[in-house]
Amino acid sequence: MRREIAIVVFPGFQLLDAAGPVAVFEMAERFRAGSYAIHLLAPGGGVVRSSSGVCLAAAPMASAAYDTVIVAGGNLAQVEEHQGEVVAWLGADAWRRAAGVCSGAFFLAEAGLLDARRATTHWDAAERFRLRYPKVRLDADRMFVRDGNVWTSAGISAGIDLALALVEDDLGPGIARRAAQQLVVHQRRHGGQTQYSALVEQGGRSGRFGELIGWMRARIAEPMTVERLAERAAMSPRHFARAFAAEIGATPAKVVEGLRLDAARVAVETSHRSMDQIATATGFGDASRMRRAFIRAFGESPQALRRNLGV
């Protein structure tokens, strides 16, 4: 069965918001021919200039039945300028599922598609989104969120993760995994992975906690209290907790759990160690605690993840 995929852009769109999903569906089509046809659409059609200056040719947004509609994001000023026509077109409801990449979620919310649903968007636009669309249950930490037939993703590269999840939903984990490998995506990020993970890798917005993050990762099996982390950072616990959250966008406890989840997921996916062994090595203490953390973050247990990967 061939699925018609419409990717909607507008003047000033973010190029990777569109190109990332296009590449994912292209790779999936290579591995299972006849699965996807990709259509690039824009208000009025024609040559559409991205925020980088690179232009793409798009067809006009005509009335047609699409399996999946994906709306790219961009600078919020451009998003708001071009909302009217895109929102009216989305309201035609001639699609099975809809998705917004990055600030593309603003189009879905403006059309009322996210009312009373969970959603995410780029962390930098989260406060503006929350104030403008109070009916939406915004979860700005998540890499991508699915609520029924509507999907949203965080900024830019997360559109690739969202598209891989759509492929997995359509064609199964095997095709999605092969597409990710062909794209040289080291590991497809789950929707439960947090947006602040990139800031964790950088040690915060200014990089001031880079050494501390490396130290935490090297000792992930050990207790990681705020007091211990503050001592390592040569700060008082209260000042450390505030400064860390401001730099990273998450509390120390949340970052510790995220680092443990990352380490545990790699071990589950790439080794044959028992769940108890992995839980001990990554600081969870026991397999049941690790299982609860996996379900909260990834929506599945470590055992299910290993089964799906055939490890």
pLDDT one-digit tens code per residue, 91-103: 877 799 999 999 9
Phi/psi for 270 (5° steps) reads -120, 0
Domains located in the chain, CATH noted: 3-182 (3.40.50.880), 196-311 (1.10.10.60)
Residue 65 pLDDT grade (very low, low, confident, very high; cuts 50, 70, 90): confident
Residue 151 has pLDDT above 80, yes or no: yes
Residue 191 has pLDDT above 50, yes or no: no
pTM for the predicted model, two decimal places: 0.70
pLDDT at 133: 96
CA torsion 173-160-28-52 (nearest 10°) is: 180
Rounded Cα gap, residues 198 and 213, in angstroms? 12
In angstroms, the Cα distances linking 60 to 41, 64, 175 are 6, 11, 31
Rounded Cα gap, residues 152 and 30, in angstroms? 25
Query: Is 157 strand, coil or helix?
Result: coil
Residue 240 pLDDT grade (very low, low, confident, very high; cuts 50, 70, 90): very high
What percent of the chain is modeled with pLDDT above 90?
A: 64
